[in-house]
Amino acid sequence: MSGRSIRHLYVHLPFCASRCGYCDFVTVVGRQGQHGAYVDALLAELRLEGGVLAPRLESVFLGGGTPTLTEPRELERLLRSLPPADEVTVEANPETVTPALALLLRECGVTRVSLGAQSFQPRLLSVLDRHAGAAEVRRAVYTLRDASFDNISFDLIYGIPAQSAADLDADLSEALALEPEHLSCYELEAKPGTRFTHAHGAELARQAETMESYFERIVARLTEAGYRWYETANFCRPPSAAEGRDLRSRHNLAYWRGRDYLGLGIGAVSTIDGRRWRTTPRLGRYLASLRVGERPERELETLPERVRRSERVLLGLRLDEPLSLDDLAEAVDPAALERLERLGLVRRAAAGDELALTERGRFLGGGVTAELLA
């Protein structure tokens, strides 16, 4: 095992006020009475597993669920117990952002807040079962700015049934008007078994082709507004001359670059030294194991070298920076590479030692990368 070398930590906080129909993340509705026990369990898990963590981390990411719904005292206790990190992100639902919460996050060393805006159109938000509207998103941004947050990201979803191109443009305009440092734009996915897929799955399948033009529209609009399209679904403001800050998500960059990370909490995934495990998604079992100081159940998978290399190509080519082929050459099919290069979908750099997708290749995305793999 890696002795004190892991520099990225994910912590899962599963509590939500209600369940949005499209979401299949590991979430728990209600159970306010268990927030304290859950944080106790997270800290017990940190004691068991934390030996692999570097004394100072590059990134901590508190994801959910709705981390900001966690009882404030418990959220504070958790944040104050985590190792220090250069970037500490917390996911927040807009309606949970109050001045007191913003201050708490600030005082506990949070550097970045990722707001789940999803859309600004009341009609589309109601299709998604979302409670917060445009006014709450705006209020959340002002509240966070008042508490001196200078790194705010929005999650937006496109491809919502009945969303017109004009609706999409309106969402992008509203988002841009709030000047976030970072934007993630996800195509709505029909997750198997969700209420939403039951009701709208067929409609999503029918509109799949239209979504390519929506994606192109998003990239065009955000890059015209000066954002860097640094990963398939992610955009950030470029460094200003005055500050020179790199506003890409350091935590997600670590995933895309194939770095190891530790995950704590129910359903959390860890990848360390070629082993990947997912902790049980069952809250009761998780709490019971850690209450007696035992490791919770987990599904463990060993990743063969070949799989690790292919993953690094698949993820690395999502970025706008060239991927070094140093130890990855075996993962790429030379004939496919030549073909895709001729088609103008892939380009080689640094005398063939580095690889990147061209803009056209990036629009086609995963399909091109899959063809490249040996």
Interface contacts to ligand SF4, rule CB under 6 A: 16, 19-20, 23, 25, 27, 64-66, 93, 116
Contact (CB, 8 A) for 207 and 159: yes
C-alpha torsion sign, points 341, 216, 237, 256 = negative
The one-letter amino acid code at 230 reads Y
Tell me if 217 sits within 8 A of 189, measured CB to CB. no
Interface with ligand SAM (CB under 6 A), residue from 19, 138, 139, 191: 191
Nearer to ligand SAM, 142 or 186 (CB): 186
Cβ contact 232:253 at 8 Å? no
Residue 134: its H or E element: helix 134-146
- Give min distance, CB of 215 to ligand SAM, in A: 13
Site for ligand SAM in 142-171 (CB under 6 A): 155, 157
Report the amino acid identity of residue 314.
L
Q: From 59-67, 243-251, 264-272, 298-306, give the range in contact with ligand SAM by CB under 6 A.
A: 59-67
Query: What angle do the packed helices 208-224 and 165-177 form, to 10 degrees?
Result: 30
Q: Min. distance of Cβ 189 from ligand SAM in angstroms? A: 4
Note whether 14 binds ligand SAM by CB under 6 A: no
Question: Residue 183 CB, nearest distance to ligand SAM (Å)?
Answer: 11
By a kind-dependent CB cut-off of 5 to 8 A, residue 19 interacts, out of ligand SF4, ligand SAM, none, with ligand SF4
Q: CA angle, 250 as apex, 247 and 256 as ends, to 5°?
A: 115
CB of residue 128 vs ligand SF4: minimum separation in angstroms?
8
- 116 contributes a contact to ligand SAM by CB under 6 A: yes
- Judged by DSSP in three states, 223 sits in helix
Round to the nearest angstrom and report the end-to-end CA distance of the chain: 29
Choosing from 42, 128, 144, 188, the residue that interacts with ligand SAM (CB under 6 A) is: 188
List of residues contacting ligand SAM (CB under 6 A): 22-23, 25, 63-64, 66, 91, 93, 116, 118, 155, 157, 186, 188-189, 191
